[in-house]
């Protein structure tokens, strides 16, 4: 197999991948009532273990971070035990798996948490909560400085739990308008403490999580997903790109495992991202391992790796439709088309 997608990839001194195709994080809402991953979930991931790397569905680090039904957690003993089923099944099939650490922040909802959501500031998002009967997003409560520090510790605890559960590393979910992204944006971060007020201070929450998680489990096992383009759950404000440039520059100084683009489509260009695509922006400003993502066909993925636009490509929906995606691509078989109806089952 001569495709650059099927060469091994050395991410760092401790992590080597069998190929350059990553299974993107995909929320499936199949955890049990205690937000514990089940054997069915383990079987689902095990079927996809020939991906170079699996990134787990977003996994909440704290009960207050929940914004969708039956999304797994990594903050209780039972959840850690549930995840062991998953990591053991993936490893038994020769795969590697990172845990995506998640806090929804202002787009969490009291229907799941029984408490008012928290955010960088008291700024609500508009619209309706998915998978509910038209519930509106609530006004979040602004976290005190002390509470922000406590949340950073919860990321650390979750990362330690993930390693105990057998994950090969963690990906901090800094993308898609959730809590970390909310701290990075002027629209959602009106703070005047050490976590807001300037680009530098808006980066602090993300960087403290990265640094504390790295100190706890190793920078080689720590990664982050980012959406510099602001495409969901919040909007771009002029000047946000400065914050992202600063953040990527600071990440260059840390030997983390990778940065991963969060988007549904990497086909658009943005005036405010140096006029290019979000992937090009990250590639330009970040010098370490980079995973691109966002509606990549296999041909596009191959082209991206060949031309060094990214080191790895994450594929999402096609992995839902094709558990055997890697085998199909290797043997030149056609891929099944993804259909949203497939979300009702965990095949
Ligand atoms: C059903 C579904 C669930 C998703 N869940 C997550 C998630 O938990 N975390 C995340 O960062 N992105 C999530 N995404 C976004 C994907 O990781 C990916 O960025 C997106 O699907 C684009 O890639 P694709 O075109 O190859 O599907 C989800 C996407 C879908 C379709």
Asked if 221 and 170 touch (Cβ cutoff 8 Å), the reply is yes
pLDDT in tens, 173-203: 999 999 999 999 999 999 999 999 999 999 9
What is the reported pLDDT for 1? 58
H helices, E strands: number in the chain: 12, 12
What is the reported pLDDT for 2? 80
List the structure tokens of 135: 């519930």
The average pLDDT across 213-225 equals: 98
Asked if 309 and 20 touch (Cβ cutoff 8 Å), the reply is no
Q: Is 37 helix (H, G, I), strand (E, B) or coil?
A: coil
Catalytic residue among 155, 178, 231, 296: 178
Residue 2 neighbours by CB under 8 Å, 6+ apart: none
pLDDT at 91 over 80: yes
The average pLDDT across 241-253 equals: 98
- Alpha carbon of 37 to ligand 1 centroid (Å): 19
Q: Report angle CA 59, 18, 39 to the nearest 5 degrees.
A: 40
Most informative mutation of 56, 176, 314, 317 for ligand 1 (most atoms within 8 A of CB): 317
| φ, ψ (nearest 5 deg) of residue 82 | -60, -45
Mean pLDDT score of the chain: 97
List the structure tokens of 182: 């909310």
Most informative mutation of 5, 22, 25, 70 for ligand 1 (most atoms within 8 A of CB): 25
What is the reported pLDDT for 245? 98
Tell which residue, 209, 116, 83, has the closest CA to residue 154.
209
What is the reported pLDDT for 21? 98
Topology given in CATH for the domain delimited by 4-344: TIM Barrel (3.20.20)
What is the reported pLDDT for 231? 86
What is the reported pLDDT for 252? 98
Is the CB of residue 58 below 6 angstroms from any atom belonging to ligand 1?
yes
- Alpha carbon of 236 to ligand 1 centroid (Å): 20
pTM (2 d.p.): 0.98
Asked if 343 and 70 touch (Cβ cutoff 8 Å), the reply is no
Give yes or no: 178 in active site: yes
Tell which residue, 222, 64, 96, has the closest CA to residue 168.
96
- Alpha carbon of 114 to ligand 1 centroid (Å): 26
Bridge pairing between strands 9-10 and 16-17? antiparallel
List the structure tokens of 13: 């001194």
Is the CB of residue 301 below 6 angstroms from any atom belonging to ligand 1?
no
| Closest ligand 1 atom to 293 CA | 23
| φ, ψ (nearest 5 deg) of residue 324 | -95, 35
Most informative mutation of 21, 24, 170, 340 for ligand 1 (most atoms within 8 A of CB): 24
pLDDT in tens, 18-59: 999 999 999 999 999 999 999 999 999 999 999 999 999 999
Is the CB of residue 50 below 6 angstroms from any atom belonging to ligand 1?
no
Tell which residue, 67, 96, 344, 75, has the closest CA to residue 233.
67
| φ, ψ (nearest 5 deg) of residue 326 | -60, -45
Is the CB of residue 56 below 6 angstroms from any atom belonging to ligand 1?
no
pLDDT at 332 over 80: yes
Tell which residue, 154, 148, 152, has the closest CA to residue 191.
148
| Closest ligand 1 atom to 314 CA | 26
Is the CB of residue 175 below 6 angstroms from any atom belonging to ligand 1?
yes
Asked if 27 and 58 touch (Cβ cutoff 8 Å), the reply is yes
What is the reported pLDDT for 133? 85
Asked if 322 and 347 touch (Cβ cutoff 8 Å), the reply is no
List the structure tokens of 347: 């095949």
pLDDT in tens, 258-277: 999 999 999 999 999 999 99
List the structure tokens of 221: 């096992």
What is the reported pLDDT for 130? 87
- Alpha carbon of 189 to ligand 1 centroid (Å): 25
Is the CB of residue 280 below 6 angstroms from any atom belonging to ligand 1?
no
The average pLDDT across 113-121 equals: 98
List the structure tokens of 257: 């495992």
The average pLDDT across 228-248 equals: 95
Residues of the chain above pLDDT 70, percent = 100
Rounded CA-CA distance 118/140 in Å is 5
pLDDT at 298 over 80: yes
Asked if 137 and 159 touch (Cβ cutoff 8 Å), the reply is no
């Amino acid at each position: 197999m001569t495709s650059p997608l099927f060469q091994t990839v050395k991410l760092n001194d401790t992590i080597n991948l069998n190929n350059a195709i990553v299974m993107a994080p995909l929320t499936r809402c199949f955890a049990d009532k205690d937000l514990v991953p089940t054997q069915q979930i383990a079987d689902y991931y095990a079927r996809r273990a020939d991906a170079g790397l699996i990134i787990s569905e977003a996994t909440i680090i704290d009960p207050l971070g929940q914004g969708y039904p039956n999304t797994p957690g990594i903050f209780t003993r039972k959840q850690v035990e549930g995840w062991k089923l998953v990591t053991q099944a993936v490893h038994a099939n020769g795969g590697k798996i990172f845990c995506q650490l998640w806090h929804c922040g202002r787009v969490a909802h009291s229907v799941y948490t029984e408490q008012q959501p928290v955010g960088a500031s008291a700024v609500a998002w508009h619209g309706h909560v998915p998978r509910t009967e038209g519930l509106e997003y609530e006004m979040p409560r602004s976290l005190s400085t002390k509470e922000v520090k406590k949340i950073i510790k919860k990321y650390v605890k979750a990362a330690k739990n993930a390693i105990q559960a057998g994950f090969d590393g963690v990906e901090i979910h800094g993308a898609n308008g959730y809590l970390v992204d909310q701290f990075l944006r002027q629209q959602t971060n009106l703070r005047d403490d050490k976590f807001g007020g300037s680009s530098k201070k808006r980066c602090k929450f993300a960087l403290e999580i990265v640094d504390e998680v790295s100190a706890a489990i190793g920078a080689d096992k720590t990664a982050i997903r980012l959406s510099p383009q602001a495409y969901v759950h919040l909007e771009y404000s002029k000047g946000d790109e400065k914050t992202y440039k600063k953040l990527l520059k600071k990440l260059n100084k840390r030997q983390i495992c990778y940065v991963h683009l969060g988007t549904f489509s990497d086909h658009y260009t943005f005036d405010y991202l140096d006029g290019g695509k979000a992937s090009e922006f990250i590639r330009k400003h970040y010098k370490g391992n980079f995973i691109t993502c966002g509606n990549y066909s296999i041909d596009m993925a191959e082209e991206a790796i060949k031309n060094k636009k990214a080191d790895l490509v994450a594929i999402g929906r096609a992995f839902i439709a094709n558990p055997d995606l890697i085998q199909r691509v290797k043997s030149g078989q056609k891929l099944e088309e993804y259909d949203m109806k497939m979300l009702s089952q965990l095949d």
